[in-house]
Amino acid sequence: MFSSSSVNLDVLKKRAYNLRWATVPNGVIPLTAADPDFPCAPEISEAIIKFTKDRYLCYGPPEGLPQFKESMAEFFQEKRNIPADPSLLFPVDSAAFGIWLTCKTFLRAQDEALIFDPVDFLFRYSIEAVGATAVPFSIPPGDVPVDFEGLEKLINKNTKMICICNPLNPTGKVFTKAELLRFGEIACKHDLIILSDEIWSDIIYAPHVFTSIASLNEEIRDRTITITGFSKSYGLAGLRIGTVMASNPEHYSQLFEASLHSSTINGANVLSQIAATAALTESAYYLDAFKTHLHQMRELIVKELNTVDGFQCIAPEGCYVAFVNITGTHKTSMEVRDLLFNEAKVAVVPGLKQWFGEGAEGYIRLSFATSEEILTDALSRIKHTIKSL
């Protein structure tokens, strides 16, 4: 399923937007947006086809299709050890929307929210979009211990939320149970909402183990909003489907009201919920095979990038992105990005503040959710270009 022959470049060049194949010149290999180059599981497309055969595409219930809510709750219960209630979760039109919705619901103009640095730009964007202030907290790549004392010093009367990204995009860090417990204890002590983005939680490399912060204890769970989606694990980015879950009924009511789902202004479309349900209930074998492939690609990319002069790549514990320290080249992240794009014909994401925060300067990010053939070609081009310097 994940061989070179599985990648249909003709289709990708027509459909894969968001910095990928449809947006780069011919001949450029995009290792940019973290979406897989592989088709989804056949059960997912078959479920969509089966549903549409009757040709009735009506509005669904605002709170989500029952089969979606049940399968999602079962996932949280069995895979994440969270005593999930189907009535306290609902589908949204992407995990990104879920992050924004949580910020909209619980933050006001004078409020502050703690975010990691580096981290995906969606956290800062969502916080600032609702008029609040994002306060960055440094979590460097690698196994540097989390500075919890420094974290607490950032908290003041205006701090209302802490945003957890686990595993952490772009560094690939997977937080330990002990680290998550400390985050949770700090949130409880200072009465903070916990926004836990777990969209990458399926992509974990042994011996590391994923823990949902909401699984730790009732007190932490009661203030946690858990968000996940289906783009990373099942290749459903274009269907724009995610989940927002609360454990506190009051939080759920606030989220649902803010979502405008009870009107026809917002809502997750029915076909996306059908697809997500098929992913959860019928496609476990696909995810298992995908993770096996990703483990092999992780070994390949880390090994090869560490042979490049001026590059240093720590193996990610989760996610399928490599976050590469390029300070040894004596060039900025943007200069290396431009060099690789123009000379190697490989597109990567530069470590700019607009993408990941100030802590990302001196790094580039590469996605390795592609075939071994494409990845090997891209790495060869990178090595040749940097060597020519």
What tens digit of pLDDT does each residue of 278-320 get? Answer: 999 999 999 999 999 999 999 999 999 999 999 999 999 999 9
What tens digit of pLDDT does each residue of 148-207 get? Answer: 999 999 999 999 999 999 999 999 999 999 999 999 999 999 999 999 999 999 999 999
The CA distance from 384 to 373, in Å, is 17
Peptide bond into 136 cis (omega under 30): no
Predicted TM-score (pTM) of the model is 0.95
Judged against a pLDDT cut of 90, whether residue 72 lies above it is answered with yes
Q: What is the pLDDT of residue 258?
A: 97
Query: Using CA of residue 86, residue 89, residue 93, residue 94, what is the dihedral sign?
Result: negative
Question: Mean of the pLDDT values across residues 355-380?
Answer: 96
Q: What percent of the chain has pLDDT over 90?
A: 97
Tell me phi and psi for residue 245, to 5 degrees: -130, 135
Please state at what angle helix 95-106 crosses helix 122-129, rounded to 10 degrees: 40
CB of 385 within 8 A of CB of 344?
yes
The CA distance from 240 to 243, in Å, is 10
CB of 139 within 8 A of CB of 317?
no
Judged against a pLDDT cut of 90, whether residue 388 lies above it is answered with no
The CA distance from 23 to 305, in Å, is 25
Residue 389 banded pLDDT, cuts 50, 70, 90? confident
Structure tokens at 283: 């496609």
Question: Mean of the pLDDT values across residues 205-223?
Answer: 97
Q: What is the pLDDT of residue 143?
A: 86
Q: What is the pLDDT of residue 346?
A: 98
